[in-house]
Amino acid sequence: MKSKVISTGVKFCCAMLVSFAVAAGAEAACTNKTLRGDYGSTCLGTVNNGAVNVALVGKFSFDGNGTGSAVDTASIAGNIFRDRNITLTYNIESSCRGTATLTIVNPSGFNPTNFDLVLTDKDGITGGRIATEVQAIEIDSGSLVTCALTRIEQ
């Protein structure tokens, strides 16, 4: 009887460990779908090897499939550019890191702009949920621009 209870207990413990492992593995890693919806953004930095200060504020819309758009206002060397239209593509890796390429449609002349991204949520790395925050840094030579995006709750 005692060996039957121990055997049943061991089987139960093994079953629980397997179910916990499956549940932990079932939590999806980040994908392009982790970045979807509308985000408010702020970017600050310099371009042209520190010669030109830039500041931007805007609204980004991501479709969850690797493309999106934005409209922003930029201060570039003290010159203000309102309602700049931007198209973008992005790719999010399972590690919740990714890349984005932005093309400014109007006014032209600032293209393309490339960024590395990290997606997070209020509890840390997103683990497959919708990102509530995005941290970005421009990776183009001669640029030092960082951006913070926050999901606009709907």
What dotted CATH number matches 32-151?
Answer: 2.40.128.120
DSSP letters along 23-44, please? HHHHSPPP-GGGSEEEEEEEEE
Token representation of residue 9:
């207990």
Question: In angstroms, what CA-CA distances link 118 with 16, 29, 93, 100?
Answer: 34, 13, 10, 11
| Beta strands, E only, 77-132 | 79-92, 97-106, 113-121, 124-125
Under DSSP, is residue 75 helix (H, G, I), strand (E, B) or coil?
Answer: strand
Under DSSP, is residue 65 helix (H, G, I), strand (E, B) or coil?
Answer: coil
Give the DSSP H/E element, type plus range, for residue 144: strand 144-151
Q: Give pLDDT tens digits along the chain (154 positions).
A: 555 545 544 444 434 333 333 334 445 589 999 999 999 999 999 999 999 999 999 999 999 999 999 999 999 999 999 999 999 999 999 999 999 999 998 776 667 999 999 999 866 565 558 899 999 999 999 999 999 999 998 6
